């Protein structure tokens, strides 16, 4: 079941109450779960993936694909649901993706890899999302 969209926390202390420590580390501190450890890496269930922080709809299951990278991969998000930010951490340039509603860290987006016709891979932490099955 998806999180109901409610008033968003306004402080990090309020987010700590809403999220468990692992979710907080990923969503609020831009952490990354270990590869192949997330609950949605191999999920094929139909439904809608929501932001675990605020409940916003992010990815229909029809956009999920097997990239064999160790994290759930999607080739498209719902228009306007995800924002992109340049990320120069860890000595490289990447594009971070965040929930447009609550600014929660989702993962990174990569283009030009040829996995899908859209040529895009949203590499998302399972801890950032929750599946609402169809």
Q: What amino acid positions are annotated as catalytic residues?
A: 123
> In a 10 Å sphere around its CB, with 0-12 CB exposed, 13-18 middle and 19+ buried, how is residue 54 labelled?
buried
Query: Strand 47-51 to strand 129-133: parallel, antiparallel, or no bridges (unpaired)?
Result: antiparallel
Contact 100, 57 (CB under 8 A): no
Cα–Cα distance, 20 to 90 (Å, whole number): 25
């Amino acid at each position: 079941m998806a999180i109901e969209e409610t008033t968003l926390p306004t402080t990090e202390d309020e987010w700590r109450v809403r999220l468990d420590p692992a979710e907080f580390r990923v969503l609020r501190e831009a952490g990354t779960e270990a590869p192949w450890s997330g609950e949605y890496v191999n999920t094929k269930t139909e439904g809608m993936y929501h932001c675990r922080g605020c409940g916003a709809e992010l990815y229909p299951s029809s956009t999920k694909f097997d990239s064999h990278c160790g994290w759930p991969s999607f080739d498209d998000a719902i228009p306007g649901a995800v924002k992109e930010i340049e990320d120069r951490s860890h000595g490289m340039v990447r594009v971070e993706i965040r929930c447009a509603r609550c600014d929660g860290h989702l993962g990174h987006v990569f283009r030009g890899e040829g996995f899908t016709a859209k040529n895009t891979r949203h590499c998302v932490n399972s801890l950032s999302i929750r599946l609402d099955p169809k």
